[in-house]
Chains A and B, each alone.
Chain A
């Protein structure tokens, strides 16, 4: 069957055509509307094609080879269950971002810097998922990276954005280089670049280990796995908000796709100790990511750090799937992989939603700093409502979708005693503990994000003058919020839809959820554990309604007047409110002293002076200081030293060339 992949490639061609069109007309007033409408329509069609492929039960894959790329290979494209799932994520995210962009894009100061790359970025992500040979894959990957880089530096006048762009470019190049080496190793001396040929050959254990390491660097740096995450909190907030949503919610998932494709599909036989590495990095990312998010006062940076946490959760699930697969436990492996994929879908929903919300706040107030916001719930009631839904979902509270997928992950962790290796038996519960910690911190973080931004009183005139955003943005956010709720109360539908993917990669699947009574979710067997999102939802709704009814019916309706309670503050200015920093302080004191080497110092004014005392907090990004600063220092040292080579005499250059030639000849003469 060829129709599916052909339709998708036509869609990609349409997106690329939109790029060209956008370049031609980007300075016209109608360009924004036209381009986003086009991407919305194209993404929606591609979403529908991918969804039909996944849900339609097409057992056979859809393949197509185009005479492009390397002449003796051609460009292979293939649509299988895994690709279809990720295409759903990509194109749904793309459609939502386009819809949001229809409204948000009107405030864009430089649309000619955003519109062409937006469509190109979408095309690149689709091509990465569709590609089925190493050459097309890497080419699409780099295309995606460069398009997103152009979007990061769209507002290049701000110095922080150019720095973010530079760091992103360096990290992306390093990542692509790692991927290049990984595929070169997989291709072997025969140079079989087509995925089907790579799949057929079994690499040696050494090659497998090196490829895994390279994939962790290559895909991990794009996904934001600690310690390769440094670019992410800089670059994601720098882009326009709907692009931030795409980068955080969708592009990181494309990176996870690359990891799954290579580790589960192309290599196919994970070893148990490899899963240890993945589990460790995942847990580290989850905890460090959310701790950073907790300390952050920039709303978009907070969301970017939270992406690192969620990527960590996804990688923990993937590590579990590798461990179970290596131990020949297909049911448990299918459960873990389903949890990972489900969380990928969920994260793309609620992270897009939250970035849209942050973008809405940014458009109307011009502020990303939470310490200057507050009280927006009165001025932007709808945005606040959907943002709250996103916060509840990402905090993994039932009945929303974040809970369902994280619950599945924990169910998989609870199966760890059945693993054979002691390393895993010890490691997995520890990882579970770290995940629990990060889940709790996530709740605190998003209480802070919502509370400081939307509750209380405005902390600046900008926040006071906020107003509700346009209908397109609201519609996009509302759709995502509804989807967060729906996938939360009906997880069985998603789990069943994911079964072709796990069947293809693991050879097993979770039990059929729709066959369970009352739409209950049963990971392994009903005797062990089950979850019913619908019942939880009904219970919460009914008990809350009942409580409201009882209070309003039975409590006295008489209005009482009394002195306002001043919380002990005689001066009730908005500055006296709880701030984001003060909210994070207990956690900073407990965990930050260790994780960020946080130190507090109080500067007292001299006696008799009327100056205020100041509390200073000093925090360190240990990974940046321990890993990246020495690296930067080494590169600078080397370049300074090598700079000498730029100013040699002609004769010295000749001598260098001559000496090197003689050296090479000597090597050739001595080589055995």
Chain B
């Protein structure tokens, strides 16, 4: 089962997810960011499918399909449409410049590696690596949310964070399908709500920069 090749492939897929998360950090165009996110979701689907094959768990194929369909296709296409219909500016205002963000990202990955390898000495090597990668992806997703001012990119950060959760759950053998479906469903709901929200902000402020909300409240940024 745990032959070197299968292990390396799983490792490769999870590692690529972290790499793609890094790619998100330096995108400064909205469409590019969404495309990278779609790539993220597709690689996640591959990774989950590989886990399904390894563990012989057919329900994980469903998870992979959900990831591919919703996150790889529906949501990116939806976001593209929203951006086109709103006609919002396609460059991203970052709160922190790219260089320091990348450095912080490297620090976060180091932290999650050190932490996960320390707290899971008894788990299998595959699960340990998987968990460490998953934690990195979650932290990087949060970092994307924190460093962007644009509401659309915050949504994307949130979705990539959720990808990290799915990776952790599949690596850990045994998240029930129901949970996965409900998580996917809640993500979809969040997507719809945030989409509607975006339209409303746009109508009122002619911008999806969340800073406009703060100006409206009379607060300093």
* Interface set of A (CB-CB < 8 Å, partner B): 647, 649-651, 654-655, 657-658, 661-662, 665-666, 668-669
Question: Given B95, B108, B119, B214, which contacts A668 in the complex, CB threshold below 8 Å?
Answer: B119
Shortest Cβ distance from A671 into B: residue: B118
A662 engages B221 (CB within 8 Å):
no
B111 engages A662 (CB within 8 Å):
yes
B112 within 8 A of A: yes
B106 within 8 A of A: no
Residues in A with CB closer than 8 Å to B149 are 651
B214 engages A649 (CB within 8 Å):
yes
Bound-complex Cα distance A654 to B139 (A): 12
Contacts A658-B142, A661-B142, A669-B118 given; indicate if A651 touches B210 (C-beta within 8 A): yes
B211 within 8 A of A: yes
B214 engages A665 (CB within 8 Å):
no
CB contact list, B48-107 vs A, under 8 A:
95
Residues in A with CB closer than 8 Å to B139 are 661-662
B221 engages A655 (CB within 8 Å):
no
Q: Could you write out 30 A-B pairs with CB less than 8 Å apart?
A: A647-B217, A649-B211, A649-B213, A649-B214, A649-B219, A650-B210, A650-B213, A651-B95, A651-B145, A651-B146, A651-B148, A651-B154, A651-B210, A654-B142, A654-B145, A654-B146, A654-B154, A657-B142, A658-B142, A658-B143, A658-B145, A661-B142, A662-B111, A662-B139, A665-B112, A665-B115, A668-B115, A668-B119, A669-B111, A669-B115
Bound-complex Cα distance A662 to B105 (A): 12
B114 within 8 A of A: yes
Bound-complex Cα distance A651 to B146 (A): 6
Residues in B with CB closer than 8 Å to A649 are 210-211, 213-214, 219, 221
Contacts A651-B95, A651-B146, A669-B118 given; indicate if A662 touches B108 (C-beta within 8 A): yes
Bound-complex Cα distance A666 to B111 (A): 7
Bound-complex Cα distance A669 to B132 (A): 13
CB contact list, B14-67 vs A, under 8 A:
none
**With contacts A649-B213, A654-B145, A658-B142 known, what are 14 further pairs, Cβ within 8 A?**
A649-B214, A649-B221, A651-B148, A651-B210, A654-B142, A654-B154, A657-B142, A658-B146, A661-B139, A662-B139, A665-B115, A668-B119, A669-B111, A669-B114
Bound-complex Cα distance A669 to B109 (A): 13
B219 engages A665 (CB within 8 Å):
no
CB contact list, B190-217 vs A, under 8 A:
210-211, 213-214, 217
Bound-complex Cα distance A654 to B145 (A): 8
Bound-complex Cα distance A650 to B95 (A): 13
Shortest distance from the beta carbon of B24 to any chain A beta carbon, whole Å: 15
Residues in B with CB closer than 8 Å to A666 are 111
Shortest distance from the beta carbon of A648 to any chain B beta carbon, whole Å: 8
Shortest Cβ distance from A656 into B: residue: B146
Residues in A with CB closer than 8 Å to B214 are 649
Bound-complex Cα distance A662 to B108 (A): 8
Question: Given B111, B146, B210, B219, which contacts A655 in the complex, CB threshold below 8 Å?
Answer: B146
Bound-complex Cα distance A612 to B119 (A): 82
Shortest distance from the beta carbon of A154 to any chain B beta carbon, whole Å: 42
Bound-complex Cα distance A655 to B104 (A): 13
Residues in A with CB closer than 8 Å to B143 are 658
Shortest Cβ distance from A647 into B: residue: B219
Bound-complex Cα distance A657 to B157 (A): 15
Shortest distance from the beta carbon of B73 to any chain A beta carbon, whole Å: 27
Residues in A with CB closer than 8 Å to B108 are 662
Shortest distance from the beta carbon of A201 to any chain B beta carbon, whole Å: 33
Bound-complex Cα distance A650 to B201 (A): 14
